[in-house]
Copies of this chain bind each other. A is one copy, B any other.
Amino acid sequence: MDIPQKVNLAEKLASFSDYWSPKVVGELNGQQVRLSKMKGAFIWHRHDHEDELFLVLKGRLTIELRDRAVQLEPGEFFIVPRGVEHKPVADGEVEALMFEPATTLNTGQQRNERTIDNLDRI
């Protein structure tokens, strides 16, 4: 039985500095735990088959939806249901944990210069 090591979120977060490039820090039940640093605005996108959870660890993250905006402070999470267009906007630098299926593409239904096909595992 291959039992994973425990994960210290602060240590993992200290090990990278690039924005909008989620790192895989855990896998279970076909899902991944990802950490991301964010700054500024990402793009509008949706995930047609995956719900996506954002838990803010540091900073303030706004999840813009087409009909509202959800502001998240550290210790708050929001689940974007599948099919719902969203645009994360980081007010300053944000650190967030994401929980979503391993199949989830960071740019959702589209591929562009911000798409990352093979996320780093750290």
Contacts and interface: CB of A to CB of B under 8 A. Distances in A.
Interface of A: 1-4, 6-10, 26-29, 31, 33, 50-53, 65, 70, 72-73, 75-79, 81, 83-84, 99-101
Contacts of A53: 26, 28, 33
Chain copies in complex: 2
Contact of A76 (B3, B6, B72, B101): B6
Contacts of A99: 28, 31, 33, 99
A8 B2 CA distance: 34
Q: What 4 A-B pairs come out closest when comparing CB atoms?
A: A28-B51, A6-B78, A9-B75, A8-B76
B1 A77 contact: no
A27 to B, nearest CB: 8
Given A8-B75, A9-B76, A28-B51, 12 more contacts: A1-B83, A2-B81, A3-B65, A8-B73, A26-B77, A27-B79, A28-B79, A28-B81, A29-B50, A31-B31, A33-B53, A99-B99
A7 to B, nearest CB: 5
A27 B76 CA distance: 15
Contact of A51 (B6, B10, B29, B50): B29
